[in-house]
Amino acid sequence: MRSAALAALAAAFAEARRALRAGEAQAALLSLERAHILGQRLPLAHAEAHWLMLRAGWQTRDWREVLGQLPRIVAALLFSRIWVPVGNSGRARVGAFQPMPLSEELKKLLE
């Protein structure tokens, strides 16, 4: 992964963690969607995005999000290097196998 993409991934995780500490779960989820897209092909980063989404779901008492993230954490560790649905936000309300369009910025970072 290129250094610009790694820096963007680290920034997205840092912002998400800051938002979670501040009790701003919805803001954290926006950053985590970005981190998820950037880190999908890196098993540990991919699983971390899902773990933090689970924590955000817990903060908001969104049990669908919490339960939806559990199998995604395991799948991220097992399948990230094999295949991922490009652009998928990683949220529990989105099909786990559904590709989604990428913003121009993310396309450039992932090239």
Distances (CA, A) of 36 to 26, 33, 86: 15, 5, 10
3-57 pLDDT tens trace: 999 999 999 999 999 999 999 999 999 999 999 999 999 999 999 999 999 999 9
For residue 31, the enclosing domain spans 3-110
Structural domain total, the chain: 1
2-14 pLDDT tens trace: 899 999 999 999 9
| Whole-prediction pTM | 0.94
pLDDT at 26: 97
Cα separation of 88 and 95, whole Å? Answer: 8
Task: Give the containing element (helix H, strand E) for 89.
Answer: none
Region of 90 on the Ramachandran plot (φ > 0 left; ψ -120 to 50 alpha; else beta): left
